[in-house]
Amino acid sequence: MCGINGVVGLKNISEVLFQGIRNLEYRGYDSCGVALMNKSNLMVQKNTGGVEEFFRKGNILATKGKIGIAHTRWATHGTVTRDNTHPFTSCDGAFALVHNGIISNYRFLRDGLIGEGHVFRSETDTEVIPHLLEKYYKKHKSVEKALVKTLNILEGTFAIAMISTHHPDQIFCARRESPLMLGIGDELKFVGSDFNAFIDYTKNAIIMEDDEYAILSRDSYVVKNFLTQEEIVKPITKIEWDSETAKKSGYPHYMLKEIYEQPQTINTALELDSNLMNEVVDMIDVSDKAYFVGVGSTFYVAKFSEYLFSSLTDSFIPAVSSDEFALLAKVDSKSLVLTLSQSGETFDTISALKFAKSKGAMTAAVVNVMGSSISRLVDKVILQGSGPEICVISTKAAFAQMIILTILALKLSLKRKKIKRREYDSSITALRELPEVIQNILNERSGFIHRIANNYSKVKNWLYLGRGIYYPVALESALKMKEVAYVHAEGMPGGFLKHGTLAMIDQDVNSIVFIPPRSDKKLYESTIHSVEEIRARSGFVLGVHFDEGSKNRDLFSEEIILPNVKPIVAPFVQLVIGQLLAYFTAISLKRNVDKPRSLAKSVTVG
């Protein structure tokens, strides 16, 4: 949602602070601010706009400091203005603070503080925190005591980093339900929303847990619980990703780079610890009731899994959007809730998990970010190892999750004797061959798809249609188009058309239909029937199909023809086409591909 970062060192750290907050910009990018301190001289600068623009225009790097905190914002409380930008300071200017999360009792606290004479300059929930720190510092004459008192009063979710003129060489930070990590370098100590904040400087991380706070100085740190004030000895986690993999490597955008990394994510998924995979399969097997839970793209991963498990394992495991889970699902100690999350920090999915746990349910997750909240909350976690996904829009992470769920479904199917070993082996072989198929499509068809995207980039409305497992493919592809190109795209099952939507078919509404291979005869024919329904009303259909050299071509207004593959991997090939169409349409419309409007990499608020 927002990115926070702090650095303390011996020499000037303004450049280090800039690198760190720039690496976190994918978490939010509507405004940016820093507080830097040299001796007891505290300097705060902030403005609307992205990180680079803010640092350049404000000439921030010219300001020297041995300690500093920074913030990149994705507005939740208060509009995008300079006044609402972090850091916030106390009335006496002794405390500067950045925050990610939502303080739910801020109105009550704010009214009380105003009554005591504090002056507020923003509309945010965050601003109560520095004022509370000032108030309790006056009483206790200790920054640590003031912090502990304040943290115990706050309700809601928070990750904070704070510096104070009372301790010019220390950073104070704390977390409750919002992600926060420490970076432990030899000469520099860091705090960050995630390890991208400090990955260029150290791979030694400490993952902060709920209700913990830390005090960092250049050559030491201490972590304590703010409910008990007990000191906690924290293990150091070695970050496995390197900063190079998090760079663009010559691609114009991270989105394209990450689409091209998908073949590799398939190989990684196939190499995952098979004991761990079997344990998750066993959990599904023994549960009375199971759910797949995710939101946004990961809800579509869940939906994809719902179809997979129905057809392969003969059990219906509903997909539920995380934000609706507590309103809909019935869970008890025999239920399994399998959550999907790229970031592992999504508020709605964490809430669904907490609800499930409060009912005693078993929990598991497929997550990309190690050390993330969801990965630590569940009974069993599969870390997908897809590498950093920097583009705000998820491509390779969601894609890899679908591969992992396919492997789980095949394993369960074999275990339940729904398929024979031969069929299992041939499906795994098809998955092993998939990286090459996708690589060839990326190498050979991207130019063609780029031209199609250019030709139709002015189309304002698209229907994305698919049947069976191609329905979630249509949903996910439509979401990609909406979020990166800002073009209206509605995903729908093909069979839905005749129940009303056909009325929309005219020259202003184009359709894209994801067609299964002919070998999936029934599904193929019913999908072609949807195409015919649209064509009968002179509607435009872009058919994405596997019919190399077939006679159906005059059925489509435009077509993307794919190499014939086994039905088990065909939806993945279609997904890549959906991603490329969205990417190239966004390029054609000159959108901000890696940082589209109104989306953040980890949506840590509800």
Binding site for ligand F6R (CB under 6 A): 295-298, 341-343, 346, 349, 393-394, 479, 483, 602-603
Contacts of 16 (CB under 8 A, 6+ apart): 7, 9, 188, 201
Contacts of 564 (CB under 8 A, 6+ apart): 517, 546, 548
What six digits make up the tokens of 348?
Answer: 């709605």
Nearest distance from residue 251's CB to ligand F6R, in Å?
18
2 part of the active site: yes
Q: Which is nearer to ligand F6R, 262 or 341 (CB)?
A: 341
DSSP state of 542: E
What six digits make up the tokens of 29?
Answer: 């990018």
Q: Name the active-site residue from 2, 32, 173, 391.
A: 2
Q: Which is nearer to ligand F6R, 221 or 583 (CB)?
A: 583
Q: Which residue is nearest to ligand F6R (CB)?
A: 296
Angle of helix 421-455 versus helix 262-270 axis, rounded to 10: 170
Nearest distance from residue 365's CB to ligand F6R, in Å?
10
Nearest distance from residue 346's CB to ligand F6R, in Å?
3
CA distance 44 to 33: 7
Q: Name the active-site residue from 203, 224, 234, 601.
A: 601
CB 326 within 8 A of CB 348: no
Angle of helix 570-588 versus helix 396-415 axis, rounded to 10: 170
Could you give the 3-state DSSP secondary structure of residue 376?
A: helix
CA distance 273 to 346: 25
Nearest distance from residue 352's CB to ligand F6R, in Å?
11
Could you give the 3-state DSSP secondary structure of residue 94?
A: coil
Q: Which is nearer to ligand F6R, 265 or 343 (CB)?
A: 343
Q: Which is nearer to ligand F6R, 2 or 555 (CB)?
A: 2
DSSP 271-339: TS-HHHHHHHHHHHHH-SEEEEEE-THHHHHHHHHHHHHHHHHS----EEEHHHHHHH----TTEEEEE
Nearest distance from residue 400's CB to ligand F6R, in Å?
11
Closest-CA residue to 489 (of 471, 503, 507, 476): 476
Q: Which is nearer to ligand F6R, 483 or 547 (CB)?
A: 483
Nearest distance from residue 468's CB to ligand F6R, in Å?
22
Could you give the 3-state DSSP secondary structure of residue 40?
A: coil
Q: Which is nearer to ligand F6R, 48 or 368 (CB)?
A: 368
Q: Which residues are designated catalytic?
A: 2, 601
